[in-house]
Amino acid sequence: MAAIHFHKISLRNFLSYGNNLTVIELDKPGTTLIVGENLDSTSHGVGANGVGKTTIINAITYALYDKPISDISKDKLVNNINEKNMEVSIEFSIEDTEYTIKRTRKMKAGAAGNNVYLFVNGEDKTLDSATNTNNKIEEIIGIPYELFVRIVVYFASHKPFLDLPKADQTIIFERLVGLTMLSDKATDLKGLIKEIEMHIQIKKTKLDMLVKEHERHNIQLSNAKDRMDRWEENQKIELQTLLDQRDVIENTNFDQQQTLHDELVIINEQLTHQVGLSEKINQRIREYKRSLDKEQKELVHLKDNKCPYCLQQYGDAEQKIETLEEHVLELDENITTNTEELTKISDIIDELEIAKRDVAKLITVPSLKELNALRTQANTLEAKIDTLEKSTNPHIDSYQELLVVDLEEIVYDEVNLLTKELKHQTFLLKLLTKKDSFVRKELLNKYIPYLNSQLHYYLQELGLPHHVVFTHEMTANISQFGKELDFGNLSAGQKARVNLALSLAFSDVLQRLHTKINICLLDEVLDFGLDAIGAKAAIRLLKQRAKDKDQSMFIISHRDEIGHVLDRTMIIQMSKGFSYINEQT
């Protein structure tokens, strides 16, 4: 754990200090009483307020943090008589590294006259802006302003810690025991998590695009193969058709086939003729049979001497019967003759059908049209077959090109690793941010007992019988003789003792946890609420602490009578509106 060792603070035209450079040595182990004399009021220096004692603390906090401990705007820090050329610089070291911070205001007109400079081992390391330089300085010191002004410097007029709102107490306490380190880590983790999530999203987007590219390529490859296969299949079918046609041509006797087709035409014509005759004879036979049936019925009625039409008595029936009987015989003979003729025609048709089947069996080319087409194709068929057999699939090249396309491999290893890392970092973030996480509890368990122990020690040394104990909820419980009290129940003197004890105990925790610091400045802690006994107890405690911790302790006070008790005295004199330092050992 590196220690911060402050060497000196230099002032020019800062508040009540004038144009002459004032240098205050800070590395003075032991106790130094700072008192004031106002020579502008009386020749004996009576009335020591406003002479520039607290200005030393303001200069230190302004130099380090760009803001004074008092409620003063930065332009009002410039000496109100000279009104320009303000300079404040502080020198300190951390291990073997020397630092100097210098701040100026109104060195020239406008903002250009207000500057901050950071020197490291004599080299100018000032950053590109005041904000960045200030952040760098606080990073180097490692102590936030809120802790510094309650622990390294102690301002009695500051609102007591236990009078602060609970939220403000928690913030200061968390910074003291390092819980803000967890918050800072959590902030860093959130940034890291966001970055990991962004990388995962980028990787996933790339993988999604890659998957789609692979899918698109596979579809193109499948379509190309289908086109290639379809072409091959169509070629086979077309070639086989041509080969079949060639076989037909080679095995075809065109003259014979022509003759057979001619014979088939004649047979079909004869069949058509005979079928037509057959239909006509059948028609005649049907007509003869209808007439025969009719006349036979008429004969039946005439033989009963009745008219065959009206069934009345018919007088001349004999003659009519004779005529009808002759006609019936004629019809019967006609039916017999036509039936015999029909039988002959049926035999002819059967013979023609047999002949047709026999001829059809010998025909290998179904029609004359096809036969003529084969004659025409015979000369070009071989050329077509040769062309087809030598033709190359036009889709092979595109298919081969797609086969050799070198697509980036789809690999999820990086996404899986990042996802695993994201889960890990998210888990860590929960550990850092949850109020009941074991990390927070571990830090509190580590430092709260030590804080309470130191606080108890200082309260005893200051002669206060009260107990002040901090809980793991970062709240303070005050009790006396077993009865709980509020901070408001304490008297002004008791509050002063508690405030001083808290500041010293907080300082112990800070230096144990973070950084050892060689200075401590206390402003009027002996002047508010402490009676003579309380002041003596406080002085005894502060002297022992300065000795034990080898600290340079500066105590601003109006109690001139304690000067002989402390190691040295620094007198701040006000003369003609300006402050000067008169040191006495």
Count, residues in the chain = 585
Amino acid at 159: K
**CB-based contact 553:537 (threshold 8 Å):** no
Give the number of domains in the chain. 1
**CB-based contact 288:334 (threshold 8 Å):** yes
Q: Looking at residue 306, what is its pLDDT?
A: 58
Q: Looking at residue 309, what is its pLDDT?
A: 58
220 occurs within a structural domain = no
Distances (CA, A) of 199 to 188, 213, 498: 16, 21, 53
131 occurs within a structural domain = no
461 occurs within a structural domain = no
**CB-based contact 457:450 (threshold 8 Å):** no
Q: Which structural domain range is residue 275 located in?
A: 253-363
- Dist CA 343 CA 179 (whole Å): 127
529 occurs within a structural domain = no
**CB-based contact 130:108 (threshold 8 Å):** no
- Dist CA 13 CA 21 (whole Å): 8
Residue 64's contacts (CB-CB under 8 Å, 6 or more residues apart) are 90, 101, 137, 138, 141, 148
> If we measure between CA atoms, which residue out of 378, 537, 369, 542 comes closest to residue 462?
537
243 occurs within a structural domain = no
**CB-based contact 92:107 (threshold 8 Å):** no
Q: Looking at residue 42, what is its pLDDT?
A: 62
Radius of gyration of the chain (CA): 63
- Dist CA 468 CA 476 (whole Å): 6
71 occurs within a structural domain = no
358 occurs within a structural domain = yes
DSSP assignment string, 306-326:
B-TTT--B-TTHHHHHHHHHH
- Dist CA 413 CA 431 (whole Å): 27
> If we measure between CA atoms, which residue out of 262, 249, 269, 268 comes closest to residue 365?
249
Collapsing DSSP to helix, strand or coil, 438 comes out as helix
Tokens, residue 194 = 């966001």
Per-residue pLDDT of the chain (585 residues; tens, 9 = 90+): 578 999 999 999 999 999 999 999 999 999 999 998 888 876 555 556 889 999 999 999 999 999 999 889 999 999 999 999 999 999 999 989 999 999 999 888 888 889 999 999 999 999 999 999 999 999 899 888 988 888 899 877 778 888 888 888 887 877 777 666 667 788 888 899 999 999 999 999 999 999 999 999 999 999 999 999 999 999 999 989 888 878 877 777 888 888 989 999 999 999 999 999 999 999 999 999 998 898 888 887 777 665 655 656 555 667 777 888 888 899 899 999 999 999 999 999 999 999 999 998 988 888 888 878 777 777 788 888 888 888 999 999 998 998 898 888 989 999 999 999 999 988 888 877 776 666 677 777 778 888 899 999 999 998 888 999 988 777 889 999 889 999 889 888 888 889 889 999 988 888 887 678 999 999 888 887 778 888 888 899 999 999 998 999 999 988 767 778 898 999 999 999 999 998 765
- Dist CA 186 CA 16 (whole Å): 44
Residue 338 neighbours by CB distance under 10 Å: 19
Angle between helices 254-303 and 317-362 (to 10 degrees): 160
| φ and ψ at residue 443, rounded to 5 degrees | -65, -45
CATH number, domain with residue 319 = 1.10.287
Q: Looking at residue 97, what is its pLDDT?
A: 95
| φ and ψ at residue 571, rounded to 5 degrees | -105, 125
285 occurs within a structural domain = yes
Angle between helices 492-513 and 532-548 (to 10 degrees): 10
> If we measure between CA atoms, which residue out of 142, 238, 134 comes closest to residue 181?
142
Tokens, residue 117 = 């400079």
- Dist CA 397 CA 400 (whole Å): 5
pTM for the model: 0.62
Q: Looking at residue 1, what is its pLDDT?
A: 54
> If we measure between CA atoms, which residue out of 55, 76, 58, 54 comes closest to residue 67?
58
With b for 16 or more beta-carbon neighbours within 10 A and e for fewer, the 11-37 pattern comes to bbbbbbbbeeebebebebeebbbbbbb
CA 419, chain centre distance (Å): 11
